[in-house]
Structure 1
Amino acid sequence: MAGDAAGSQDGSRPGSARRFAASTTPEAGRRGRGATANPTGRFETARRETFHDPEWADDAPVPLRTQVTPERSARIIARNTSPDIPFDRSINPYRGCEHGCIYCYARPTHAWLGLSPGLDFESRIFTKPDAAQLLLRELAAPGYSPDTIALGTATDPYQPIERTHRITRAVLEVLRDARHPVAITTKSDLVLRDLDILTEMAADDLVLVAISLPTLDPDLARRLDPRAPRPDKRLAAMARLSAAGVPVMVNVSPIIPGLTDHEIEAILARAREHGASRIGHALLRLPGEVADLMADWFAEHYPERKDRAFALLRQARGGRENDPRFGHRFRGEGAYAAMISQRIRIAGTRLGYGFGRMALNREAFRRPGAQLALF
């Protein structure tokens, strides 16, 4: 029988980084999940560890089920002033992400909720059911000035629970009616459900859809982001969006040294064949607890590649596993990072891609509730 033992700190500071043993949560209890463990959040004063009681050795682990909790917010548009992010506002309809991408840089945010960035992040999901109403109110404010809203910057707006909760669709309906520009980032072909809205917005240059595709290998994808659609489904979604007139960006992200970096040119070629016209890319980031989670994941799935992957990453991060500095965190520095950028540029130019996000239409904005002019 597996359980949690809670105890006092072992002398280290709360939240200090540590490597934990591979597969610290029994595999049968986390089948279909990305993280191999559920480490204690860095803000908690007690640390919990999984243990196995020999008296209950034959007791099968209970499968981990997703728990969904609604939360209320005062605002829905988040602002940022980061100089290396191509947008200044974003919306995330969900906290946590059921896709379970092991590399997700948003995992550490669950620690602020008193939860683990590990399995909790992908199984304890928080929804924002009043997102559309809040958005309508914020867009209607007299001082609001329109610019592209990035939808899904931390967690995927089309993760599986969106099928029933439909919060993302409600947000898109508000943006469509207000003729407000939006850039969507997703891994899911569920985005095709909203093709009616996206096609209408694309006709006025109001939308861009970026689909993340870090690998073409379905077996690797099943381990990296276990509950996201397969690579072939993402490519098919690109083709349908493009055929409907919706501009598509392929996000080769994250590029994982020693694991997916050899696929860059193949990914760009396949995405181009399926209608993608722009490129985005980012090198693997390991903020907070993600470094330990990623190390544990490598130890279980690709132990022979772990040392090389982390060595190359440190080479691109100034000797560290993570470099949070503006201008460096997405691309890295040094010879390895420069080589990756050069390969992206050469392959992208040869294939006829545009680079980065395209400018969307801000002039068509209609403030919700505004009186229409009479002619």
Structure 2
Amino acid sequence: MELPAMDREEDQGCLGPRLEEDPSFKVPDRLLKRNQARAEDVRRRKEEKESSSITEEKSDYFSGAFKSQRAAVEELLSRCGATGAGGGGAADHRAAATQILEEATFKTQQLQNFLNDSLSFLNQYEVAQAQSALQRLQGLLAEKRDEVLPKKKFAFKTRSKVTEKVDDADAGPPATGGSGSAGPPTTTTEVDWSVRAEQCGFSNLDSAVLTLTGDQIRKQDVQLSHLRDCRVLLPGSPSTLHIKHVSGCQILCGPVSSSVFVDHCADSTLVLACQQLRTHNTADTRVYLHVTSRAIIEDCHGVALAPFNWSYPGLDGDFAESGLDPARNNWDQVDDFNWLDTGTPSPNWSVIPEADRRTTWDSDK
């Protein structure tokens, strides 16, 4: 059966000859819309194909370059263990080991920066694999540093400021008329912990103000554990930050080049900037966050989030050293491993209303 003339022309797309024969002929709007839709669909499919191809090429390049650079760091560390085998005194051995460890640390930081710069085109699995490899590499680096450059055992040669202040507080006011009694010890102690710089962290302390400088924590793995009612200030750029078993604390930390791990934290306030945040077993805690990937929580409740808003001299330089992008902050993008219903918000975390957010951090109040 032969199609009507107009239908035959529509099916074959032969509008051009008809227009040449009759310039007054008007193309129906429905045909124009159909042709425009087809052209748009062709353009969109072409762009998607090109974008997919570019992303795949970038991902392949990242995978190869990352693997190559990681192998270079591992090879450096393997040579570090053998340094001095051919002779030389202890001082020469230590100097050579120090040089190799510094180079390995620098290359590891470059690798972290490379990952940070590639987050836009990597999928979640690729990011997780690279982060896991970096954590293993950082652990190997720390083990090698302890092996070839053992730290001197720490011992106080003089009383520290915390001892002096607690002693003074324990003395209390003198008794009067037989009815007076010694006052209770002070509940907040200003502590100078520069003497503990080698430890790069604090543990087993109550009611103290604790500070490490940027030089002390630069590219180090900082550990905070078993703290209660403490205020911790960490202006600088550590490699990683571990927070475990803390309660009633306020912890402020500059840009962390890789991950912050929080475990068993309660009734605290954390002010953090990092590439990744992983939080476990945490309750009733506020987090002022800058994170360039996505925050992860597990076995948590009562976690409230707001954007990172701490400022201190040198913050811009610490962001540059960490490799984090100050303009990229996914503070409210959270993956709750205990809440798999994507259609309903997790009840375990929330956003702090703007009116309730802290804007200054000059004190613990």
TM-score, normalised to structure 1, is 0.27
Q: Based on CA coordinates, which of the two structures has the bigger radius of gyration?
A: 2
Larger relative contact order (CA 8 Å, sep ≥ 6):
1
* Larger helix proportion of the pair: 2
TM-score, normalised to structure 2, is 0.27
